[in-house]
Amino acid sequence: MYLGKIGDGEELAGHGLIHAVLAFLEDQRLDPTPLNYSFAYHVVSEPAGALALEVARRTDGGIRLTTNEVEQLGNAIDGTADVAGTRPEAAPGPPAAPPTPEPDMAAAEALVTETLRQVAGFADMVSEMRTETRDFGRNLAASADALQRYAPIDSTDAAVAELARITAAMRARVEIAEARLEQATQEASELREQLAAAHDDARRDPLTELPNRRAFEEAVAAVASGPVHIAMCDVDHFKAINDLHGHPVGDRVLRAIGTTLARECPDHLVARYGGEEFVVLIAGADVVEAETLIERARIAIGQRRYRLRESDTFINGISLSAGMVTMTPGETLLSAIERVDALLYDAKRRGRNCFVGERGG
């Protein structure tokens, strides 16, 4: 459990506190939203505080906080509830102000995109300036060499000698400017790469390294034409795996399942939708091909052997339940997800470890 690493009264500040907050979010599998970040900050910055102690009590034994628990405990930050989950009797007074809404994710995404565009434009501009400066420097060098040949330093023509001196000085300054522009070009390129990597990380699940829910939603929106099929896959009895073998083993199982799904569904998007749920976007195939693909992947998951590295024994009975729908023209993704969820639950009711499609499964 992460909280055990920040105790002993050790003061966290600067980068250390930032790293501690990010580590807490990763350990609890919490998205880095403003609400979750604020919650994590209060936990790790005051390890002896009531909130941190309550979080430690609830996560004892490797149990992770649920979203509801984070929201409930987070109310303690502004004093609207105590951390033990019991609410003191409120004294009469004016109604509490509504909670501050989280920033518009679309606006944040637009800001990142615009920043990437500006950095790319700056890098191109600096590169062009560097090229022009280098060409100018070469011209100056040629001029200086010509002046030296026709008007050496001891020349009696003072005007020509002064022109040679000024040209040489300008050449030296241009060389310095060129070196600085080269450094600026390198820094702009590195910044662009870092922003692009951060942009990609925001669309990648850190556990399985598959695309995440946001990337899946963007991919669906980007499909231009053709049939679009959405399959939802859920690991059967996953809680029992965590309870019996622990969360680290459960995490390894999820990574193995994600790898197998991606291998069995080449040329199609496999994403981790959340928890033990995976989603597959199949575009450009007919419904029979799509159903055959998902059924083959489901069988491959069940046939794979999962070995415990700690004891060299196998985990038996790991399987998937799956449902699949074909989006209708003009249908929203929300509607398609609701329909595929219904088919997934139907597969669960049928005894799990099976696939249910709209044609009956």
pLDDT tens figures, 7-49 = 333 444 445 666 677 778 777 877 766 677 778 888 888 888 8
Interatomic CA distance for residues 37 and 60, integer angstroms: 21
Give Cα 117 distance to the centre of its chain: 20
What pLDDT score was predicted for residue 137? 65
What is the mean predicted confidence (pLDDT) over 67-96?
A: 52
Is 188:126 a contact under the CB 8 Å cutoff? yes
User: Of these residues, 187, 276, 295, 338, which one is catalytic?
Assistant: 276
- What rounded mean pLDDT belongs to the chain? 76
Q: Could you please state the CATH topology (level 3) that the domain comprising 213-357 is classified under.
A: Alpha-Beta Plaits (3.30.70)
Angle 111-106-40 from CA coordinates, rounded to 5°:
85
What pLDDT score was predicted for residue 76? 55
Interatomic CA distance for residues 260 and 199, integer angstroms: 26
What pLDDT score was predicted for residue 23? 76
Question: Which residue pairs, CB below 8 angstroms and at least 24 apart, start in 179-183?
Answer: 181/126, 181/129, 181/130, 181/133, 182/130
Assess whether pLDDT exceeds 60 at residue 94: no
Q: Which pLDDT tens digit goes with each residue over 172-208?
A: 776 776 677 777 777 767 766 766 666 667 788 989 9
Give 163 or 208, the one with higher predicted confidence: 208
What is the mean predicted confidence (pLDDT) over 252-256?
A: 93
Indicate the SS3 state at residue 100.
Answer: coil
Q: Which pLDDT tens digit goes with each residue over 343-358?
A: 999 999 999 999 999 9
Assess whether pLDDT exceeds 60 at residue 108: no
What pLDDT score was predicted for residue 211? 94
* Residue 50: band (very low, low, confident or very high) from pLDDT cuts 50, 70, 90: confident
DSSP bridge partners of 211? 204
Most confident of 91-105, 201-215, 316-330: 316-330
- Residue 331 among the catalytic residues: no
Q: List strands edge to edge, sheet with 269-274.
A: 269-274, 277-283, 228-235, 320-326, 355-357
Indicate the SS3 state at residue 211.
Answer: strand
Residue type, 63: I
What pLDDT score was predicted for residue 225? 81
